[in-house]
Amino acid sequence: MSILLVGVSHHSAPVSLLEAVAVSEVDRDALTEELIAGEHIDEAMIVTTCNRVEVYSAAKAFHPALDDVVALLSRHSGMAIDELSRHLYIRYSEAAAEHLFSVASGLDSMVVGEQQIIGQIRTAYQSASEIGAAGTTLHRLAQQALHVGKRVHTETGIDSAGASVVSVALDRAAEILDATGLDPAGSAADGPVAGRHLDGRRAVVLGAGAMGGLAVAHLGRGGISHIDVTNRTAERAERLSEIARDAGTPAAAFPLEELARAVARADILFTCTGAVGTVVTLGDVHTALAGRGELGHLVICDLGMPRDVDPAVAGLPGVTVLGIEALKEDPATSGAAAESDAARTIVDAELTAYTQAERMAEVGPLIGKLRGRGGQVVAAEMRRLEARLPEMDDKVRDEVANTVRRVVDKLLHPPTVKVKELAARSDGEDFAAVVSTLFDLDSIVDEEAS
C-alpha cells in the first residue's frame, strides 16, 4: 500500500482559495469517512491548518485514488476541478513521507520552525484513528513524522529561525530610518540617534498570520509608537491588533483597501501575506508617497514568498525595500539558514530509515509465502513417505519429519535473510520479484484455495 498526498498551501495558492478549501474539525471526519468508503483508498488522514489542507491516504492505485481525493476537495470547496488542480501539489510514496516530515519539522511553514504544526499533525492522526480511518500504513507514517518533528526541535535551533528573519529585517529598517537624518516627527536631526531604535515610529503590518504576529511582537519590543494592521480577513487583523494592544502597544485594524492611506502615515511597512501574486502595487506606494508630506523615508520589509511587493517599488526615491534576498547576508539569518540545514539533515536521515523499514515490512508477506512453500514441501514428502512405509511408528515418523523440516529451514534461511537485506534498497522490489518467481510463490494462494 503506497501513500498518496494531495495538498494545497500558502506556497501554491492565494488566500481566497485556501479559505474555500479550508476544512473545519466538524467537516474533517465526514470527509475522511467519505474517502475510505470508496474502493480505491483504504486509509485517510487530513491535516488542516490556516495555511494548508493536506490529504494523506493509503492508496490501492495512484490515479483512481488521486481522482477520488481531488473530486472530494472540489465538492467541499465548491470549485471546479480544473481550477482547483492548478493549485494542488501531489506527492507519492517516499516523496509524500518526505513532505510530511518537513512539515512536522517546521521547514514548510510560513514562519520556519514553528512548533504548532506538530500538534496539528497529532490531532489529524488521532481524529483519523478514532473513526477507523488510520490503519498500519498511516500509523507508521504519522508516528514517524511526530518523532522527526520532535527530534528537529530538540536537536536544532530551528525554533528561532523564522523569528530571527523578522528581527533582522526590523533592526535593518530601524538602522535605515536612523541613517536618513530625520527624527520620527519629520524634522532634521543632527545624525543617527544611537539606541533610539523604533521609538516614535509608526508601522503598518500587512498579513495577520504567524509572520505578521512575530512582526507585531518585535515592533512592540522595539518601542514602536503605533501599529496599523490589515489582512484580507478583517477578523484576523482585528485579533492581531488586539494582541498588540494587550501587550501595551497602540494598534488598530483597517480595511485592506485603505492600505495606501495607512502607509502614507507610516515609517515601516511589514508584509508577509502568503499570497501568490503581488499585493502591494506600484500605484499603492505612489499614492502613499504623495500623502507623506515631510514624513521622510519609507522602509518596506517584504518577507512574502513569493514576494508581496511589486519589484518596481524598489526603484522609487525615498523608499527602501528589504526582501528575503537582502537579508541572507546578515550573520543572524545565515545562522538561521544553518539551523534549517541541520533540520534538513535530520529529515533526510529519518526518511532513509523510514523508507528502508517500509520496504522491509513490504516483503513480510513474501517471506511468509516462502516459509509456506517450505512447509508444503515437508508435508508433501511426509505424505509420500507414509504411503511407502505405512508400518512406520509415530516416533520414527516425527523424527524424520523434524529432520526434513530442519533441512528445508536451513535451505530457506539464506534467501530469507538476503531478501530482507535487499528489500531496504531502492531496487528491492526487483529482488523480491525474483524470489517470488524462483520459488513460484504466487501459486501458493491458489493451491491453498483449491
Distance separating alpha carbons of residues 258 and 237, to the nearest angstrom: 13
CA 244 from centre of chain: 28
Residue 115 labeled ligand binder? yes
Closest listed residue to residue 358, CA positions, set 4, 97, 60, 125: 97
Residue 110 labeled ligand binder? no
Residue 428 labeled ligand binder? no
Q: What are phi and psi of 375, to 5 degrees?
A: -60, -40
Q: Does residue 24 contact residue 31 with C-beta atoms inside 8 Å?
A: no
Residue 356 labeled ligand binder? no
For residue 145 the three cell numbers come to 513524522
Residue 208 labeled ligand binder? yes
For residue 405 the three cell numbers come to 523440516
Residue 185 labeled ligand binder? no
Residues identified as active-site: 50
Alpha helix ranges (H) inside 184-281: 210-221, 234-246, 259-263
Q: Which helix (H) or strand (E) segment is 342 a member of?
A: helix 331-362
Alpha helix ranges (H) inside 79-209: 81-85, 94-104, 116-130, 136-155, 161-179
Distance separating alpha carbons of residues 344 and 364, to the nearest angstrom: 31
Residue 144 labeled ligand binder? no
In sequence order, what E strands does 312-391 have? 319-323
Spatial neighbors of 96 by CB under 8 A, at least 6 apart, are: 3, 4, 5, 56
The neighbour count for residue 39, using CB atoms within 10 Å, is 10
Residue 109 labeled ligand binder? yes
Closest listed residue to residue 52, CA positions, set 112, 108, 113: 108
Residue 368 labeled ligand binder? no
Q: Does residue 99 contact residue 108 with C-beta atoms inside 8 Å?
A: yes
Residue 360 labeled ligand binder? no
Residue 296 labeled ligand binder? no
Q: What is the DSSP letter of 255?
A: -
Residue 231 labeled ligand binder? no
Q: What is the DSSP letter of 223?
A: T
Distance separating alpha carbons of residues 17 and 2, to the nearest angstrom: 28
Residue 212 labeled ligand binder? yes
Name the CA dihedral angle for 24, 25, 29, 31, rounded to a multiple of 10 degrees. Answer: 10
Residue 126 labeled ligand binder? no
Residue 78 labeled ligand binder? no
Instruction: Kindly report whether the peptide bond that precedes residue 306 is cis, defined as omega within 30 degrees of 0.
Output: yes
Q: What angle do CA 295, 301, 307 make, to 5 degrees?
A: 130
- Known binding positions: 49-52, 109, 114-116, 120, 207-212
Binding residues for substrate: 49-52, 109, 114-116, 120
Binding-site residue ranges for NADP(+): 207-212
